[in-house]
């Protein structure tokens, strides 16, 4: 490909945040280039979460990438909460005046976005190594990178950091201009994907003295399960039989009896973290998605927060290019963070209430028990969970 000298919006990172932004901008005639460090095969093979709020699903539709989601995605009107041997259904739709969630894997969302970028001849430069950002505090920012052994530079009006938690964008902001807030949890999630029918029709979030577990799915024939596990656990020590045995021991007996076992397609351990960087703007650089914030997966908010950031940011950029109105850009950080912190609170709360924290002692354990009893007996508490789970308004 010929070296591109400049574009309007230069997006670092070709995950869901970066691709969705480039797609929304392109549909409004705004040029962008996406720089992605990894190969496309690598990006498309990552297994991530799979629950979309209505706002996120609507944004994908607005970006012209909703067709396969609407055909293959599963609309869920409820979730189940298991406490020990008890199983309680929360009717999300009834508790929220009709709102639902869409179960559709992030892997599929990313594939749909790449297909749409290709169909519109969108420029996504993959295997862009050593990306470095320059001139962020000037009105002519740029990024340099190595592609096929050649150093290239692209200038832009704005640079958008969509390069995830380990990306270069956030680290390009001087440390004294950022505040970082972080909580690292003393456990991880061991995930298993298998081509077996799910144990239940809806997702089951299960609290048990031995640890949390989650029954999720990708389709009527593909299941995704997770187990809370110690951080020093090794995937190699978990053969499939051990995983299924531990899962079934943590679920209510009636549910365990419905678990179909099968060979795993993928198994991996992910640490749990809450993290927010403030503000989301430094000069001409804006941060979005995992580059700016991380939530533990318990509330299924990671991809949904990326979507709401991109909603605020795409609207702001479109206003800038259409009418020279910069109010959205000026207020992006404040607007996005207001929603981010509420989702951080919810994800932290879901994590705290459902996982085992033996190191916290007896009082904390009783508080957690009381919290769960309250949740399962109070329509107000259930309405609050449901309101957050289906997604707060943009
Ligand atoms: N240069 C270019 N690209 C980079 C760099 C870099 N230095 N560092 C990372 N990247 C790429 C990664 O390879 C990845 O493809 O940026 C992309 C970031 O994608 P994600 O991590 O998926 O982040 P985001 O697009 O914000 O999506 C958020 O992903 O992790 C989940 O829970 C999260 O579901 C949420 C979603
Ligand atoms: C998933 O299916 O991967 C999943 C679902 C819900 C969560 C987290 C992960 O809260």
pLDDT in tens, 352-370: 999 999 999 999 999 999 9
- 299 Cβ inside 6 Å of ligand 1: no
Contact 283, 141 (CB under 8 A): yes
Active-site entry in 16, 26, 297, 332? 297
* CA–CA separation, 270 and 108 (whole Å): 20
For the chain, the first-to-last Cα distance in angstroms comes to 39
Active site residue 99: no
- The yes-or-no answer on residue 166 being catalytic is no
- Is the C-beta atom of 92 inside 6 A of ligand 1? no
What pLDDT was estimated at residue 49? 86
Q: Looking at residue 5, what is its pLDDT?
A: 86
Cα dihedral sign for 383, 388, 389, 394? positive
Supply the pLDDT for residue 4.
59
Question: Of 226, 268, 296, which is best to mutate to test ligand 2, by the most ligand atoms within 8 angstroms of its C-beta?
Answer: 226
297 as an active site residue: the answer is: yes
- How many Å apart are CA 326 and CA 217, to the nearest integer? 42
Q: Residue with the nearest Cα to atom 1 of ligand 2?
A: 49
What does the pLDDT look like over 37-68, one tens digit per residue?
999 999 998 888 889 999 999 999 999 999 99
Q: What is the phi/psi pair of residue 204, to 5°?
A: -120, 120
The alpha carbon of residue 309 and the mean position of all alpha carbons in its chain are separated, in whole angstroms, by: 11
Can you give the pTM of this predicted structure? 0.97
Q: Which atom of ligand 2 is nearest to the CA of 191?
A: 3
One of 26, 293, 301, 355 is an active-site residue; which one?
301
What does the H/E/C string look like for 179-190? EEEEEEEEEEEE
**H helix runs in the chain, sequence order:** 16-26, 40-45, 54-62, 67-72, 92-95, 106-119, 240-250, 253-256, 302-323, 327-354, 362-377, 379-390
Mean pLDDT of residues grouped by 10 in the chain (394 residues)?
79 98 98 97 89 98 98 97 96 98 96 97 97 97 97 97 98 98 98 98 97 96 97 96 98 98 97 98 98 97 98 98 98 98 98 97 96 97 98 96
Q: Is 261 helix (H, G, I), strand (E, B) or coil?
A: coil
The pLDDT of residue 3 is 54
pLDDT for 276 = 98
Q: Is 43 in the pocket of ligand 1 (CB under 6 A)?
A: yes
Indicate the top mutation candidate among 297, 351, 389 to test ligand 2's pocket, ranked by most ligand atoms within 8 A of CB: 297
Ligand found nearest the CA of 192: 2
User: pLDDT digit string (tens) for 19-29?
Assistant: 999 999 999 99
């Amino acid at each position: 490909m010929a070296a591109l000298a400049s574009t309007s919006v230069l997006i670092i990172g070709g995950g869901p945040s970066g691709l969705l932004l480039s797609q929304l901008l392109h549909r409004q005639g705004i040029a962008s280039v996406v720089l992605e460090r990894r190969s496309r095969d690598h990006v498309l093979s990552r297994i991530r979460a799979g629950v979309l709020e209505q706002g996120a699903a609507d944004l994908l539709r607005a970006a012209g990438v909703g067709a396969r989601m609407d055909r293959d995605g599963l609309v869920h009107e409820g979730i189940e909460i298991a406490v020990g041997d008890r199983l309680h259904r929360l009717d999300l739709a009834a508790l929220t005046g009709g709102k639902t969630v869409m179960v559709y894997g992030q892997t599929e969302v990313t594939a749909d976005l790449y297909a749409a970028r290709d169909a519109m001849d969108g420029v996504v430069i993959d295997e862009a190594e050593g990306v470095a950002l320059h001139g962020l505090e000037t009105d002519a920012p740029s990024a340099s990178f190595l592609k096929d052994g050649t150093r290239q530079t692209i200038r832009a009006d704005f640079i958008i950091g969509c390069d995830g938690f380990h990306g270069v964008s956030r680290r390009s902001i001087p440390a004294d201009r950022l505040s970082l807030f972080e909580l690292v949890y003393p456990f991880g999630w061991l995930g298993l994907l298998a081509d077996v029918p799910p144990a239940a029709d809806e997702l089951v979030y299960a609290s048990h003295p031995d640890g949390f577990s989650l029954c999720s799915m990708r389709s009527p024939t593909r299941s995704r399960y997770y187990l809370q596990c110690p951080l020093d656990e090794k995937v190699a020590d978990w053969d499939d039989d051990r995983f299924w045995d531990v899962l079934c021991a943590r679920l209510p007996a009636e549910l365990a009896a419905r678990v179909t076992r099968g060979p795993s397609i993928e198994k991996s351990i992910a640490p749990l973290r809450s993290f927010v960087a403030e503000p989301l703007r430094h000069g001409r650089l804006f941060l979005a998605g995992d580059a700016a914030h991380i939530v533990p997966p318990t509330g299924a908010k990671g991809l949904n927060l990326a979507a709401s950031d991109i909603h605020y940011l795409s609207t702001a950029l479109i206003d800038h290019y259409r009418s020279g109105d910069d109010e959205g850009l000026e207020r992006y950080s404040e607007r996005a963070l207001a929603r981010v912190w509420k989702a951080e609170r919810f994800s932290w709360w879901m994590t705290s209430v459902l996982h085992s924290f033996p190191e916290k002692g007896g009082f904390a354990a009783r508080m957690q028990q009381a919290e769960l009893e309250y949740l399962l007996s109070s329509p107000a508490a259930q309405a609050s969970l449901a309101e957050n789970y289906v997604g707060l308004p943009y």
